[in-house]
A and B are shown apart, each in its own frame.
Chain A
């Protein structure tokens, strides 16, 4: 199977070469194709989900004007400057120009939160800023507002290599996430690893399996016809194997997200990506 994966990648590589005459590939393009993993990493090479999609889907992502997810980024930008809550503050009241202040944050979540003594992901950080710093209501998971703000903030870090901490205080959460990743669940009795580690590059029915990275989230899925969160995707994969998914925003999913972010350590943030 690994051989097959390699040929598929080689084919994709050849396709890129053919397109090479149309413009030079940027450094970020090179990186998402294949980067060398850190020591002790489970993958031989780390490859962005982008590389496994069709040229049509890739083209939608390549052009910010064509990429339908930019509607959410624009909405997020508006919200960034909109004062809300009892404190009558906007995000920009404290964080000012997102292009400056959020340049790397999008690559660093889930991140350890001192107060909660556990990692939080981007959606949770945004909501904590709303409730604690703005005295506004938390946005609901998968609401247009939370998706828009997450897309906007992560978009500021586009091209920045994924860089989550996994040692020290993060270690126990990382280990739990790893365990979930390799645990078989559901009536179809599969672990994330069965598809995204053992079989990437192989077609499962019409879909070519990727390594299941999160560097593109929130992601516009053609199937959803809208942008969706990392946890929504996790849920979908669990439902497909006839398992009871964990809840969006649950500790389990945050731990899993942390572990998966590490599996994609070094991949450039692509948010908001386009997938089928």
Chain B
């Protein structure tokens, strides 16, 4: 485990250095993602999303915590669904995978001025607590997992 952790860390550091050479925003993990027609068509990892893992990330208050703001009928066993955003039932009928991916990666690119956090963006923040600085809220694979979960709603 520890090995993996250290590896991940050094990758991030490498990313930072390499990025800085190219552009001011290159420290942002989002910078390398291609936005096409209001969506991100390419998977962030190339590994298919896992519905069960997606469900966990959606519910977990330290990860997606989507229920803070959204209701999801299939998660009725969970207490307290929020009412800040719309219900996520049937959301894949309203959006393509690519659009869902962009909504998750950086909600503000789709909903201007949204309260919804950007789950895979690291740049452009202010006063981020040290513990979270330079980190994304969800990992790339978790974004894919959550998309898989959303498609099952």
Task: Give Cα distance in the complex from A262 to B126, angstroms.
Answer: 25
Which of A4, A195, A206, A244 contacts B115 (CB under 8 A)? A195
- A35-43, A45-53, A142-150, A183-191: which one contacts chain B? A183-191
- Assess whether B130 is interfacial by the CB under 8 Å rule: yes
Which of A183, A187, A195 contacts B128 (CB under 8 A)? A187
- Assess whether A202 is interfacial by the CB under 8 Å rule: yes
Which of A4, A186, A209, A239 contacts B125 (CB under 8 A)? A186
- Assess whether A6 is interfacial by the CB under 8 Å rule: no
Chain A 197-212, CB-CB to B under 8 Å as 1, else 0, gives: 0110011111001000
Task: Give Cα distance in the complex from A4 to B87, angstroms.
Answer: 14
Q: What residue of chain A has the Cβ atom nearest to residue B78's Cβ? A: A205
Which residues in window 169-183 of A have CB below 8 A to B?
A: 183
- Assess whether B118 is interfacial by the CB under 8 Å rule: yes
Q: How many Å from the CB of A207 to the closest CB on chain B? A: 8
Q: With contacts A188-B117, A198-B115 known, is A206 near B80, CB below 8 A?
A: yes
Task: Give Cα distance in the complex from A238 to B125, angstroms.
Answer: 14
Residues from chain B with Cβ under 8 Å of A188 in the complex? 117, 137
Of the listed residues A1, A186, A188, A203, the one surrounded by the most CB atoms of chain B closer than 10 A to its CB is A188
Task: Give Cα distance in the complex from A195 to B81, angstroms.
Answer: 16
Interface residues on B, range: 20 to 34
* Dominant SS among interface residues on chain B: loop
Q: How many Å from the CB of B142 to the closest CB on chain A? A: 15
Complex contact A244–B118 (CB within 8 A): no
Complex contact B84–A199 (CB within 8 A): yes
Interface residues of B (CB under 8 A from A): 61, 65, 67-69, 79-84, 115, 117-118, 125-133, 135, 137
17 additional A-B pairs beyond A187-B128, A187-B129, A189-B125, beta carbons within 8 Å, are A184-B126, A185-B127, A186-B128, A187-B132, A187-B137, A194-B115, A199-B84, A199-B115, A203-B81, A204-B84, A205-B82, A209-B84, A239-B129, A242-B132, A243-B126, A243-B127, A244-B129
Interface residues of A (CB under 8 A from B): 1, 4, 183-190, 194-195, 198-199, 202-206, 209, 238-239, 242-244
**Chain A to chain B contacts (Cβ below 8 Å), 14 pairs:** A4-B83, A186-B126, A187-B129, A188-B137, A189-B118, A190-B117, A202-B82, A202-B83, A202-B84, A203-B81, A203-B82, A203-B84, A206-B80, A239-B129
